[in-house]
Structure 1
């Protein structure tokens, strides 16, 4: 009786919601590498090698998840909220509510906006997913997101140990956020006592922001982020990934158009730049053009994305920059507000050594640079239920 009384008081003061998405798909991936060397008296061209995989997967349309969120009205326009969201792999049941790695935050909001603490999406990732007709899910995911995921930036999608501030929603369509994530590394005074180990001084820090305007059919936003991805204290070097992107969408009614431009720089900052052997910056430049077309109870989705890596290698004039492009086409049929069937097909074309795929296994390479990555093709056929 006492427990029931306490529960009754708690429910009167706040609201708690259980929510989630269960998304399952039959997905197939195939990637082909080719031997581009010409046959002659001393060498026989080895043709091509295709690696493929067919799976029962998840998250082809929306990411599968299970979450709890709640809000308590503190009075005077002030509210406290929490959000705990776990990734789930419903295809094999191996991943459940063992971690809230998708989002785990507590926040305080009011007329001043919202202050949010915990693990959350980074500001720069929002542009990559909001302005992608495929929402960075499944084989249709744009190449901007694929390339950024491939460079080992753990804070590309989400940042842990973060403090975020969001502007209030009553600014006439203007919105924005800033985020700072702590590295949580141990500092030593005097610095000579710092252990001589890599990535234990500054790695893990993130700082970024996103500001935009949404009114009627128009939505446009600008984002910037700086992630510290590596450091060596005694060598005086810090590795960072800096991202700038600009995205927009406009809903004409019969069609909705999407677009994004993104530039990411992998750089190494030196306390004392060496005369020889300094690591060159790598610039990843990409863009996306997309469209969605409502058709009755369904939605046609299509996008074209492309990316190029400029390695800025000194004294190298005949090397062509790796680049790739991707075409994706899909259809979603809504059986209800919560349940949908979907199909997506996509193809990536790589040039000059780029090796981006639609998912699944990596390109085959015998380790002797004989085979060059060329094309990657995939499809998703699935069902999504949200609750």
Structure 2
């Protein structure tokens, strides 16, 4: 009898315990493709591979919020990358995102590993959604622009008249100069189908001077059409080290079908230049599942060995294969949950 009474008391208290707990959500994306890759390098043949994350990086994440009252919430998000082709995890378990913070009328404040202010502008102005081959993620490869910030404090304002401010400070945690610290800010504007954004980072990487990073993006949606473009710059300390990445693309949606066309140019101050044309297509099988295909071709000049980037995979010739022209074709499936 006492056991039954105790069980009834515990059951009646469960709603109170549940109300006090953080609301936790498990989510993820699983994306795999068959691809034919050709770096264009002398002596290298094309190869057929199974890739993970050609449209969206495969991942699993946990996020949650707790209502603290008076419009204030606590939040957290940890997100881990996974390679579907091998089952391997990223070298940093939650390297995609790992933050805790507070959200309220003042905006959102997070601490941990977070996306940079420039990353927000680049993502919003890429017609390929920073997935599919030919995306502007090539600007973040090879330690060019900074996409994620470890050891960072981050702020995002609530939207006011369409404007949003993102600001971040990341400490390099070095005891001697250069500190490795990064400071960044971006301003975004959204009004209906119009998007405008700009961002700036300064990074204390070398004692001889600071690296500077810039991002400018724009987009406009009207009916079934989207047009997006961006201009990304990594001005690193040193001679002939300035890198520029420009994109202009369009998309057209009809029913479950979506067609993409994007042109990208990459340049170095040294005179290296490469132009990429990407054609892509997605077909929505449901709200959560789609199939996709992409063909991308890059033409490097005689001083360049640039590559083509998708969400998780890059196709590039060896740095010594100047003038090599990589290309890639893939077919894949993506499911989100």
1: distance between equivalents of 2:260 and 2:283?
11
- Aligned equivalent of 2:233: 263
Question: What are structure 2's unaligned runs of at least 5 residues?
Answer: 1-6
Q: Does 1:163 align with 2:153?
A: yes
Q: Does 1:299 align with 2:268?
A: no
- Aligned equivalent of 1:137: 131
1: distance between equivalents of 2:93 and 2:67?
27
Distance 1:349 1:116, change over 3 A: same
Distance 1:215 1:87, change over 3 A: same
Q: Does 1:363 align with 2:313?
A: no
Aligned with residue 12 of structure 1, among 19, 31, 42 = 19
Aligned with residue 245 of structure 2, among 286, 296, 301 = 286
Asked if structure 2 preserves the Cα contact closer than 8 Å seen for 1:51 and 1:361, the reply is no
Asked if structure 2 preserves the Cα contact closer than 8 Å seen for 1:23 and 1:383, the reply is yes
- Aligned equivalent of 1:224: 200
Cα drift, residue 139 of structure 1:
2.1
- Aligned equivalent of 1:382: 332
Q: Does 1:246 align with 2:241?
A: no
Distance 1:263 1:97, change over 3 A: closer
Cα drift, residue 261 of structure 1:
1.6
SS of the residue corresponding to residue 95 of structure 2 reads coil
Distance 1:3 1:50, change over 3 A: farther
Cα drift, residue 361 of structure 1:
6.0
2: distance between equivalents of 1:77 and 1:326?
47
1: distance between equivalents of 2:91 and 2:43?
40
Q: Deviations over 1:274-308 (max 9, x none)?
A: xxxxx425222221101110021111111001021
User: Cα RMSD between the aligned structures?
Assistant: 2.4
Greater radius of gyration (CA): 1
Normalising by structure 1, what TM-score? 0.78
Cα drift, residue 94 of structure 1:
1.4
- Aligned equivalent of 2:4: none
Matches within 5 A, 1:1-387: 9-13=16-20, 14-33=22-41, 48-95=42-89, 99-142=93-136, 145-150=137-142, 152-153=143-144, 156-169=146-159, 171-186=160-175, 201-229=177-205, 231=206, 237-238=207-208, 240-267=210-237, 279-311=238-270, 321-358=271-308, 362-363=316-317, 372-387=322-337
Shifted more, 352-361 versus 120-129: the winner is 352-361
2: distance between equivalents of 1:100 and 1:111?
29
SS of the residue corresponding to residue 46 of structure 2 reads strand
Distance 1:84 1:147, change over 3 A: closer
Cα drift, residue 228 of structure 1:
3.0
Cα drift, residue 328 of structure 1:
0.5
2: distance between equivalents of 1:309 and 1:339?
39
2: distance between equivalents of 1:6 and 1:238?
63
Question: What are structure 1's unaligned runs of at least 5 residues?
Answer: 34-47, 188-200, 232-236, 268-278, 312-320
Asked if structure 1 preserves the Cα contact closer than 8 Å seen for 2:154 and 2:167, the reply is yes
1: distance between equivalents of 2:100 and 2:14?
21
Q: Deviations over 1:78-104 (max 9, x none)?
A: 111000111111221111797111000
Cα drift, residue 7 of structure 1:
7.2
Normalising by structure 2, what TM-score? 0.89
SS of the residue corresponding to residue 373 of structure 1 reads coil
Shifted more, 321-330 versus 1-10: the winner is 1-10
1: distance between equivalents of 2:329 and 2:70?
51
Count of aligned positions: 325
Distance 1:285 1:28, change over 3 A: same
SS of the residue corresponding to residue 128 of structure 1 reads helix
Asked if structure 1 preserves the Cα contact closer than 8 Å seen for 2:240 and 2:268, the reply is no
Cα drift, residue 148 of structure 1:
3.6
